[in-house]
Amino acid sequence: MATKVSDSPRPLPSIPSRAAVAKEARTAEAPAKPTGAPAGWNADRFEAAAQAPRPLVCTVPTPPPSAPVEPEPEVDTVAVDSDPMTHIAYLASDELEGRDSPSAGLDAASRYVQQHVQKYGLVGPNTSNPDNPFEQRFDVYSFAGRPGVRGEPEGHVHTPDTYGHAPFESGFYLEDAMPRETLALLNQKYEQAMNARGLPLAPPREGAQRSVEELRQLASASGQAVNTMALLEGSGPNKDEVIVVMAHLDHDGVDRRGNVLNGADDNASGSAVLMAAVPELAEAAKRGELDRSVLFLWTGAEEKGLVGSQYFVDHPIPGLGTEEIAGVINVDMVGRWDDQRLSVVDTNSRGQPNYFREVLAQANAQLDDPFDRINQDINVFRDRQDGASFGRKGEDVLFMFEGLSNPNGGGDLIPEYHRADDDIDLILRDNGGEKPRRIKDLMVNVIELAANRTAEP
For 186-198, how does the pLDDT look when each residue is reduced to its tens digit (9 = 90+)? Answer: 999 999 999 988 9
Query: For 170-199, what is the mean pLDDT?
Result: 93
The dihedrals phi and psi of 241, each to the nearest 5 degrees, come to -90, 155
For residue range 96-126, what is the model confidence (pLDDT) as tens digits?
Answer: 999 999 999 999 999 999 999 999 999 999 9
Q: Where does the pLDDT of residue 5 fall: very low under 50, low under 70, confident under 90, or very high at 90 and above?
A: very low
For the ranges 67-71, 199-203, 209-213, 404-408, the lowest mean pLDDT is seen at 67-71
Average pLDDT taken over every residue of the chain: 85
For the ranges 88-102, 131-145, 224-238, 328-342, the lowest mean pLDDT is seen at 131-145
For residue 226, pLDDT beyond 50: yes
Q: Where does the pLDDT of residue 455 fall: very low under 50, low under 70, confident under 90, or very high at 90 and above?
A: confident
pTM value is 0.83
For the ranges 1-15, 101-115, 307-321, the lowest mean pLDDT is seen at 1-15
First to last CA, the chain: 39
Smallest CA-to-CA distance from 447 within 267, 281, 331, 208 is with: 281
d(CA 419, CA 265): 11
Instruction: Strands of 249-340 (E only): list them.
Output: 293-299, 325-331
Is residue 414 a contact partner of residue 345, using CB atoms and an 8 Å limit? no
Looking at residue 1, its pLDDT comes to 42
Domains of the chain in sequence order: 77-138+225-452 (3.40.630.10)
Looking at residue 183, its pLDDT comes to 97
d(CA 299, CA 225): 9
d(CA 396, CA 377): 18
d(CA 183, CA 18): 56
